[in-house]
Structure 1
């Protein structure tokens, strides 16, 4: 059995990545994931969307997600409705809910994404 250890990760060591179905400068840093740290039950990212960047409408079959907005503002679309979200807003997305996130503001939209269990994207 492989020994499990806690890890401290410096955010500057993790490269930005544009995941599938993310467009226009919708970048994320996978901070805690299966690939980088061997996490089995959670995926934790910080995302930074430039103005006009977005993730296309999509659903997750079994994953729950939390988006925690740190700065900026944008539109969160879920179940056909669009809602303005800003710093300190927290969004919970259960499995099966179609959703998208758009930076419609003037500045970068920065938010945390926590997914459990980790998705395959």
Structure 2
């Protein structure tokens, strides 16, 4: 078994990406992920969405997620219920919960997404 080593990364080292099912300038940096650090149980991303950008509604079978809104305003859908989210809101999403997030504000919507485990589907 290969041991994962501890690392320090600067956010500038990881390029912005538009992952599948993300649209309109929904960009993320996969700061801690199997592909970037060799992590096995954690995916940690920072995302910034331009006005009107969104991720389409989706569900995870076993993943838990936490969204932490750092700046901006958007609309979060959780199992069909829509709620405005803004700076300092923290959203917990359990497995089996259909969800999406959309920037409905006037400026950038910036947030952290933490997911575990990373391999569920």
Q: TM-score, normalised by structure 1?
A: 0.96
Encode CA deviations 1:78-99: one digit per residue, 9 max, x unaligned: 1111100000000000000000
Which blocks of at least 5 consecutive residues in structure 1 are unaligned?
none
Counterpart mapping for 1:103-118 below 5 A: 103-118=103-118
SS of the equivalent of 1:2 reads coil
Encode CA deviations 1:48-67: one digit per residue, 9 max, x unaligned: 00000000000000000000
Does residue 1:84 correspond to 2:84, yes or no? Answer: yes
CA RMSD of aligned residues (A): 1.3
Which blocks of at least 5 consecutive residues in structure 2 are unaligned?
none
Q: TM-score, normalised by structure 2?
A: 0.96
Give the distance between the partners of 1:63 and 1:87, measured in 2 at CA. Answer: 24
Give the distance between the partners of 1:116 and 1:7, measured in 2 at CA. Answer: 19
Give the distance between the partners of 1:68 and 1:99, measured in 2 at CA. Answer: 15
SS of the equivalent of 1:70 reads strand
Q: What's the counterpart of residue 22 of structure 2?
A: 22
SS of the equivalent of 1:35 reads helix
Does residue 1:10 correspond to 2:10, yes or no? Answer: yes
CA 1:84–1:119 in 2, change beyond 3 Å: closer, same or farther?
farther
Give the distance between the partners of 2:120 and 2:16, measured in 1 at CA. Answer: 18
Equivalenced residue count is: 121
Give the distance between the partners of 2:50 and 2:120, measured in 1 at CA. Answer: 24
Give the distance between the partners of 2:91 and 2:56, measured in 1 at CA. Answer: 17
